[in-house]
A and B are shown apart, each in its own frame.
Chain A
Amino acid sequence: MNYTVVVGLEVHVQLLTASKLFCACANKFNPDNPNVQTCPVCLGLPGSLPVMNRKAFELSLKTAMALDCGIARFTKWDRKQYYYPDLPKAYQISQYDLPYSHDGHLDVKTDDGEGVRRVGIIRVHLEEDAGKNMHDESGRGQDSQVDLNRCGTPLMEIVSEPDIRTPGEARRFLEEMKLLLTYIGVSDCNMQEGSLRCDANINLHIPTDDGGHVATPIVEVKNMNSIRNVELALEYETTRQFREFQETGVKLGDPGGNKVTRGWDANRNVSFEQRGKEEASDYRYFPDPDLVPVTVTEEQLDAIRGETCELPTPRRARFQSEFGLSEYDASVIIDQGPALADYFETVAQGSDGKQAANWVTQDVLREMNERKVDIDEFAIRPDVLSSILKRVTDAEITIKSGREVFAALLADADADIPISIKRIDRIIEERGLKAVSAAGELEGIIATVIERNAQAANDFRNGKQAAIGRLIGEVMRECKGADAKAVRAMLVDELSK
């Protein structure tokens, strides 16, 4: 059946500020020390007053601008009221009708890898996070525990249009979002620590005989703690909703067809119905009288534009045009994050773009994985790798020798020998890797080797092809920097005379 999957995502992102949104408590993930980052403001004690963190607002602006949102010149904060143990004030300071940004977008690749899906961003707004509840899982009905360290930390809510059409697109939307936010440095987007969280709204549009369609009830899926789990949960929901519709025929808006919330059980790979929150969101928003509105000027936006680095999408395009990379290679490098892209750029600038891409995406990534280090900790710094590659492109050493130097440097590093460009010279010299570019010198060696191995030379002349291997091997031993292919060609030439 050719139904359409309709998905909208709501992403919550914690901002990388030093202090909380409305007070000077530390904004730090600290689960082992509960309730040590609180004060009268974030505990909601009477008489305390919130004051907005300037940095948090600037990071929010930066995010919305990176998502191509329109920025409101006037914005305010509202109280969203509900009772929950992790929210001591019994209201969350959030933004209701005048969020600071609206109408942006994020582009993601479609499932076939060819097309681009432009996913609309309805709004990004800035609010405070709640604390954290820990539930007793023994089933014995013990008390829940509340840690308010996180309460009042700055949180962005990014709401997409329901433009996403497959679980795979949802995954790539989140991957691209995470990449963008880490690129511009507004969040570390660590899903394990909860600094990137995602809820998904999903339903199906099922075609009808008259050419129209019916919509299945919208389900909001929560509790997905990894990007992969979002994809799995949406795949599961797609199948489940279609099966349920075939069994019951219940459409969106029918009795029993209201929006429901389901949780995702990552251990069993199923979604399960959650109890509806009281009276579907009667949050009774009103402007928070404790906070005055904030205005934004064009100069402020210009300043933020000026300090925002190149974003992943234009950088991918530039890597293709400037360094001649394929779209695939450009993506492999960019998708690893800004540090690897910077590393690549330094290598490429001193050598050759394509070579640099090959080495970075293969040799460097492989060795990083093996050593379990980040690019910042990787022993061969980009200027050193660039120097190796330059020698290869200048034909000072062969590619094979280049790899030998690379491996030797890593061995040095493992033995705590400091690595430098000078060290490359030493290795080339010690191992005799200098390429013999002067053909004359190589010709001399070839002549000597043939003389020394008259038997093998004769065998080859008499049609025993394999005999040449011994000669090539000997020449290569004599001069390690030689290119084996060239040596073979010269030997064949010489022996055919």
Chain B
Amino acid sequence: MAIELTRDKVREVARLARLKLTDEEVETFTSQLGHVLEYVDILSEVNTDGVEPMAHAVEQFNVLRDDAVRESLPREAALANAPKTDGRYFQVPQILESS
């Protein structure tokens, strides 16, 4: 049961990923992503009854570390890539939360 990929779905996914697509790009990606999905869909021909879903690609568990503090980055370094900062905070266009 192949997934029907529509232009609206592509626009929706692009919006969620904050990508701005032209109508032409929507056209291209609908077709290209559609092919990718079709290809992956070949997997659904395999009978997976009674097979546990795989949680991770490697057969490894319990990679944990001790609760120890190490030095963090200096603030200057933390803010180095910020498009806008006042030297203490990251600055972003005003967030509207309430009406």
Looking at the complex, which one of B66, B78, B86, B94 makes contact with A54 (CB distance below 8 Å)? Answer: B66
CB distance from B25 to the nearest CB of A (A): 20
With beta carbons under 8 angstroms apart, the residue of A25, A40, A52, A282 that contacts B65 is A52
- Give the complex CA separation of A51 and B68 in angstroms: 12
Which residues of B from 15 to 62 have beta carbons under 8 Å from A?
16, 18, 55-58, 60-62
Residues of A within 8 A of B57 (CB): 289
Q: When chains A and B are docked, how far (Å) is the Cα of A136 from the Cα of B56?
A: 43
B79 at the interface (CB under 8 A from A): yes
Q: Does A401 contact B (CB under 8 A)?
A: no
Given A52-B65, A272-B98, A148-B72 contact (CB < 8 Å): no
Cross-chain contact of B72 among A17, A25, A141 (Cβ < 8 A): A25
Q: Are A85 and B16 in contact (CB under 8 A)?
A: no
Instruction: Give Cα A17–Cα B15 distance, bound, in whole angstroms.
Output: 37
Question: Which residues from A are CB-within-8-Å of B95?
Answer: 85, 133, 135, 144
Q: Mark A1-25, 1 if CB is under 8 A from B, else 0.
A: 0000000000000000111000011
Interchain CB contact under 8 A, A35 and B16: no
A144 touches B94 (CB 8 A): yes
Check B72 against A292 for contact (C-beta < 8 Å): no
Pick the contact of A143: B73, B75, B91 (CB < 8 A): B91
Nearest B residue (CB) for A49: B63
- A294–B88 CB distance below 8 A: no
Q: Are B79 and A35 within 8 A (Cβ)?
A: yes
CB distance from B16 to the nearest CB of A (A): 6
Let me know if A292 and B63 touch, CB within 8 A: yes
CB of B92 within 8 Å of the partner chain? yes
Summed over the interface, the residue pairs from A and B with CB atoms below 8 Å come to a total of 135
Contact (A57, B73) CB under 8 Å given A34-B89, A81-B16, A142-B94: no
- Chain A positions 428-479 with a Cβ under 8 Å from a chain B Cβ: none
Q: Is A273 an interface residue (CB 8 A)?
A: yes
Q: Of B58, B72, B86, B99, which contacts A36 at CB under 8 A?
A: B72
Q: Taking chain A's interface residues, is the majority helix, strand, or loop, or is none over half, making it mixed?
A: loop
Please tell me the size bucket of the interface on B: 35 or more
Is the CB–CB distance between A35 and B56 below 8 Å? no
Q: Is A263 an interface residue (CB 8 A)?
A: yes
In the complex formed, the residue of B with least CB distance to A283 is B16
Number of A residues, CB within 8 Å of B: 57
Nearest CB on A from B13, distance (A): 9
Residues of B within 8 A of A258 (CB): none
Residues B55 and A147 in contact, CB atoms below 8 Å apart? no
Q: Give the chain A neighbours of B86 by CB distance below 8 A.
A: 145
C-alpha spacing A293/B58, complex, angstroms = 10
Interface of B is mostly: loop
Q: Is the CB of B63 within 8 A of A52?
A: yes
Complex CA gap A52/B95 in Å reads: 31
Contacts of A272 in B (CB 8 A): 98-99
Residues in A neighbouring B78, C-beta threshold 8 A? 35-36, 38, 43, 148
Contacting pair A146 B92 (CB below 8 A): yes
A194: Cβ under 8 A from any B Cβ: no
Asked if B97 is an interface residue, CB under 8 A from chain A, the answer is yes
Asked whether A294 and B61 contact (CB < 8 A) given A35-B88, A142-B94, A143-B92, the answer is yes
A239-B97 Cα distance, complex, nearest whole Å = 24
A274-B99, A292-B61 in contact; A53/B67 too (CB < 8 A)? yes
Shortest Cβ distance from residue B82 to the other chain A in the assembled complex, whole angstroms: 9
- Is B1 positioned at the interface, with any CB of A under 8 Å from its CB? no
Q: Which residues of B contact A284 (CB under 8 A)?
A: 16
Task: Report if A55 contacts B (CB, 8 A).
Answer: yes
Contacts of A274 in B (CB 8 A): 97-99
B3 interface hit (Cβ, 8 Å): no
Taking the nearest CB of chain B, how far is it from the CB of A232, in angstroms? Answer: 18
Min CB–CB distance B75 → chain A (angstroms): 5
Q: Closest residue to A134 on the B side, CB-wise?
A: B89
Contact of A263 among B69, B92, B96, B98 (CB under 8 A): B98
Compute how far the CA of A316 lies from the CA of B94 in the bound complex, rounded to whole angstroms: 50
Contact with B along A26-55 (1 / 0, CB 8 A): 100000011111111001010000011111
16 contacting pairs across A/B (C-beta < 8 A): A25-B69, A25-B70, A33-B75, A34-B89, A35-B90, A52-B65, A54-B66, A56-B67, A133-B95, A135-B94, A143-B91, A263-B98, A272-B99, A284-B16, A292-B58, A293-B61
A interface list, Cβ under 8 A from B: 17-19, 24-26, 33-40, 43, 45, 51-57, 74, 76, 81, 83, 85, 98, 133-136, 141-148, 263, 272-275, 278-279, 282, 284, 287, 289, 291-295
Q: Other than the known A19-B67, A143-B84, A289-B56, what 11 A-B pairs have Cβ atoms closer than 8 Å?
A: A25-B69, A35-B78, A37-B72, A38-B78, A40-B73, A53-B65, A145-B90, A146-B92, A275-B96, A275-B99, A292-B61
